A and B are shown apart, each in its own frame.
Chain A
């Protein structure tokens, strides 16, 4: 079945960087865009950006411009999110989600908790 499997929880100090992975299975990796969405504790969903696994092209929410990167490895069907200059406000669960091409985001990965604390 179509599945996105994310890497495990991370604990980082302020100012550090984190790189998360999201491995796709059950479908042709290069045929569907992938989004990253985060959720701070007790808060709502915040869209961060999108990557085209075929071309590697990306687009980010303005809020994250300059400190976010999204990459992919087609040989392993994996997309990556790297966030730099971490601050306490970046503590959140980070989700990847497949874009069903004008039909919503589905499925979602299980989420990765990133904790930023000194």
Chain B
């Protein structure tokens, strides 16, 4: 099973600042099979990024995914109030299709 470790656990920033979220895999993942999701309280997760760097439909360009192998990053260039949420990375290269434990992005 591929274990995904996200850091930091909580990130406290202000609107307008840049956020950098990390996802490290226990073994190499094909970049085609790494996704990022955003989840707000009481809602289902929403797909942001797939294939490590492709934005899903309707996702603003302030969200950027990058990385390869075992190290992946989600960057939010200028935080908007609606961006404060929990973010999960996921690999769908090998079953079981595991998720990271999440990074909570909170308002400072």
Contact = CB atoms under 8 A, between A and B. Distances in A.
Interface of A: 35, 37, 44-47, 50, 59, 61-62, 95, 97, 99-100, 102-111
Contacts of A61: 95-96
Contacts of A109: 44
Contact of A102 (B45, B92, B99): B92
A63 to B, nearest CB: 8
Range for the number of chain B residues in contact with chain A: 20 to 34
Interface of B: 32-33, 35, 37, 39, 44-47, 49-51, 54, 56, 88, 90, 92, 95-102
B88 A111 contact: no
Contacts of B90: 45, 104-105
Contact of A105 (B35, B39, B100): B35
Q: Which of A44, A109, A110 has the most CB of B within 10 A?
A: A44
23 contacts: A37-B99, A44-B99, A44-B100, A45-B45, A45-B90, A47-B97, A47-B99, A50-B95, A61-B95, A97-B44, A100-B47, A103-B54, A104-B35, A104-B37, A104-B47, A104-B56, A105-B37, A105-B47, A105-B90, A107-B44, A108-B44, A108-B46, A111-B44
